[in-house]
Amino acid sequence: MTRDELINLVRTYFAGVDGEDLEKIFSTFTEDCRFSVETHGVELRGRDTISGMFERLWSNHATVRHNNFRFVVDPTHGNISVQFRVTNTFDNGDQVYKSNCNFFTTRDGLFDTVAVYMAGENTLDRAD
């Protein structure tokens, strides 16, 4: 994949997260994608488990927004990392800001791993 293709895939993924659009998110993942929150010991595999994580994220926040992206791209190996700001807005209007970094690897033009390094409280938790 080219540098621009990798960046566009990341932007599509975050557009899906911010837009609460599972179909868009999964359009960027392989069927067997591994999703982890490395800073909180969470590892997820499979669309049902990953779907549940996003559904909990969205149900616990009025909005979630990702911006201020800074990319490091390795098109030779199909890897991309991105540092970004997250704004989580709660139903009462309170906001929490985070600085996070995600590392993505690809296979056949889709993400096969997503590794999240998250500042602060884990908003991408697994089901209890």
CATH code of the domain containing 81: 3.10.450.50
Residue 128 in domain: no
What average pLDDT does this structure show over 93-104?
Answer: 94
pTM: 0.92
What is the number of domains present in the chain?
1
Strands 42-45 and 29-37, bridge-based pairing: antiparallel
Higher-pLDDT residue of 124, 18: 18
Q: Which two tokens stand for residue 120?
A: 């602060």
Residue 38 in domain: yes
Alpha carbon distance 29, 27 (integer Å): 6
Strands 95-107 and 110-117, bridge-based pairing: antiparallel
Range of lowest pLDDT (3-7, 17-21, 38-42): 38-42
Residue with tokens 């069927």: 31
Alpha carbon distance 76, 57 (integer Å): 33
